[in-house]
Structure 1
Amino acid sequence: MSVRDLDVPAVPSGSGDAVADIVADVVATIRRGSAIYCLARLHAPWGMELEEGAVAGVAVITSGACWLVPEGLEPVQLVQGDVVLLPSGVAHICADQPGRAARPLTELIGGPLEEGMPNRLVIEGDGPVTRLLIGAFLLAPGPPHPLTAVLPPVVHIGAGQSRDRGLAAAVELLSCEVQRADPGAPAVAASLLDLLFVYILRAWLAEQHHASEGWVRALYDPVVGSALALIHDDPARPWSVDLLARAAGTPRATFTRRFRTLTGQAPMAYVAAWRMSVAARLLREHRGSLREVARHVGYDSEFAFARAFKRATGHPPGRYRTDAQEHRTSL
């Protein structure tokens, strides 16, 4: 029996698995399309530059070393085994050393990231070689999830720094898969890159939550984290503050105050916002009717859903879907 079959849902444990599920949900709603990636073999001297844009970047240093120079921030040295994520698309340079002249990444790969990447990127030279696995996620239009607002411009997980065995396993699997020429390897690699994105965020959150407030702490809070997991698990359920408070085993007033303090939103405001995030993803990625999308996020009335969606995103759902399809076709 699932939580959908129960009058009052069982409270999740608030474990790392629950946090990973919520983070995976958020990642799925903020990106559009599949992840893109390439393997890079770069001989010094070299430098690559990426302008600010609606792209979240991720890199794994598989051998050698290099420097990441985010715009307006201090340079970060990266060594073999390090993983780095730039979740908001901050402009940056990656080079064999700070101050190196850099070529635009779009020039090196022969076009904009929206059109994909080559499987291999090679810069020849006489100096030491650095090998990178470079990935990118195109960010979806629409209101960002509040979790993204607390993320730093650069999430750097040093080799051996994280205790998350899943992160190490994802890096190893992905590094192996991108070098294969087997049928289906690109689809597998894209899925693993999605998984890597989630594991990087989970590893960073696990390091931060003891000293953090707000959304980071909310994920691990036994009351608020449980409620978030329930909302994410079944956005269509007719949630109420009373139902969520009972499920969390907390008085209504205490639950409401705690939820608002940690997330910055009232419980039902978050339920409404999350439903619209899920709906936007369904409109971008699936062909179900607007009525089906509405029912999936808890609306019996297609008209009420359309009104709520336009209020949240600025666009009617039909127009939003058409624009997303036209954008995909133009790539």
Structure 2
Amino acid sequence: MDAVAALLNGPRASGAFLLRSVLRAPWSMRIADRAPLTVLAVLRGSAWVLLADGRSEQLGTGAVALLRGPEPYTVADDPGTAPQVAIGPGQVCTPLGSPAMAGLGTRSWGNDPDGETVLVTGTYTAPGAVGERLVRALPPLVVVPPDDGAGAVTGLLATEMGRDAPGQEAVLDRLLDVTLVSALRSWAARPGAGAPGWYLAHGDPVVGPALRLVHERPAEPWTVGSLADAVGVSRATLARRFTELVGEPPMSYLTGWRIALAADLLADPALTVSGIARRVGYASPFALSTAFKRVTGVSPATHRRSVSA
């Protein structure tokens, strides 16, 4: 697994909310569901995305947008159209005006079955601690233009959303994941996109292999020296180049990665804290607890109770 795949593996859909919207102007939806990450694809027609800070951007047919929560936003046919429905946490819909939205079949809704605009929305409700590292690196709105890598996948996703066969939820979750990764890669590859340091560093001949070792073997008792030896450079070279490209020293990054992995593993009640500690590179539950509380501000036990509530 390369350095990028390890972090992109974090936001893995599981029973994600997916909806196909068929709309005729005028239409407008106020989204306040507080979801950490949403994928919005325009299959036909166009749509405006209006952020809480006043920024707005128009999406044409084939465009894909990634929206980082939890701030609310509006999706509309025109910036001047007043919202007709508000979507809150748990995807609870509150009508605000007409024309009213209604169900239009399997995973579909809208105000007109023959509307000129078709959108596909996929919402990640809980990306996990590893996924949060990726989500935090994103700007509030990422727009991938048409024909920039995600079009074929979104079309397949839209087709599958109309089906209700055995295993369909798993199929849709994986297609949403592929759509997200395709959009992320297209965005990060653009000059000046502002992609995070760990993404840009994956192709570096020194830092890339070091990141791969950290991601694949977190249980190893890594030091800057042992990582440098494994990569084939001096300790000073690795420390300098890693900090320069990733934005933090190797051991700081390693600690953050281990704690993120531990946080996600704590969501599994079948795993003991002792077993999790060994899997992420700590010699004892006490050592993990100390590091976990230093990084997150809470103990592993407190975190486990919060994610199982």
TM-score (norm 1): 0.80
CA drift of 1:152 comes to: 1.8
CA drift of 1:301 comes to: 0.7
Once the two structures are superposed, residues 182-240 of structure 1 have per-residue CA deviations (whole angstroms, 9 ceiling, x without a partner) of: 01101210122123222221221122479878444323322222211221112111211
Name 2:71's counterpart in structure 1: 90
In structure 2, the gaps of 5 or more residues are 95-102
Distance in 2 (alpha carbons) for counterparts of 1:129 and 1:285: 45
Once the two structures are superposed, residues 134-154 of structure 1 have per-residue CA deviations (whole angstroms, 9 ceiling, x without a partner) of: 111124576985554442211
Structure 1 range deviating more: 73-82 or 255-264: 73-82
User: Is the 2:48–2:78 Cα contact (8 Å) retained in structure 1?
Assistant: yes
Counterpart residue identity of residue 152, structure 1: P
In percent, how many aligned pairs have the same letter? 34
Distance in 1 (alpha carbons) for counterparts of 2:23 and 2:265: 39
Structure 1 range deviating more: 275-284 or 119-128: 119-128
Q: Give 2:9's match in structure 1, choosing from 2, 11, 25.
A: 25
178 and 52 in structure 1: CA distance in 2 versus 1, 3 angstrom threshold: closer
Name 2:87's counterpart in structure 1: 105
Give 3-state SS (helix, strand or coil) of 1:172's partner.
helix
106 and 88 in structure 1: CA distance in 2 versus 1, 3 angstrom threshold: closer
144 and 158 in structure 1: CA distance in 2 versus 1, 3 angstrom threshold: closer
User: Is the 2:23–2:116 Cα contact (8 Å) retained in structure 1?
Assistant: yes
Structure 1 range deviating more: 219-228 or 94-103: 219-228
126 and 174 in structure 1: CA distance in 2 versus 1, 3 angstrom threshold: closer
Q: After the TM superposition, which residues 35-74 of structure 1 pair with which residues of structure 2 at under 5 Å, given as runs? A: 35-51=16-32, 53-74=34-55
Distance in 2 (alpha carbons) for counterparts of 1:177 and 1:143: 28
Q: Give 1:255's match in structure 2, choosing from 229, 234, 238.
A: 238
Structure 1 or 2: larger helix share?
Answer: 1
Counterpart residue identity of residue 63, structure 1: R
Give 3-state SS (helix, strand or coil) of 2:81's partner.
coil
248 and 119 in structure 1: CA distance in 2 versus 1, 3 angstrom threshold: farther
User: What root-mean-square deviation, in Å, do the aligned CA atoms of Structure 1 and Structure 2 show?
Assistant: 3.0
- The reply on whether 1:120 has 2:107 as its aligned counterpart is yes
In structure 1, the gaps of 5 or more residues are 1-16, 327-331
Once the two structures are superposed, residues 44-90 of structure 1 have per-residue CA deviations (whole angstroms, 9 ceiling, x without a partner) of: 21101123734211111111211111122432111221111013433
Once the two structures are superposed, residues 220-268 of structure 1 have per-residue CA deviations (whole angstroms, 9 ceiling, x without a partner) of: 3222222112211121112111121122222210110111122221101
Distance in 1 (alpha carbons) for counterparts of 2:275 and 2:90: 43
TM-score (norm 2): 0.85
Give the ranges of 4+ consecutive aligned residues of structure 1 lying more than 6 Å apart after TM superposition.
141-144, 209-213
Distance in 2 (alpha carbons) for counterparts of 1:89 and 1:220: 32
139 and 208 in structure 1: CA distance in 2 versus 1, 3 angstrom threshold: farther
Name 1:217's counterpart in structure 2: 200
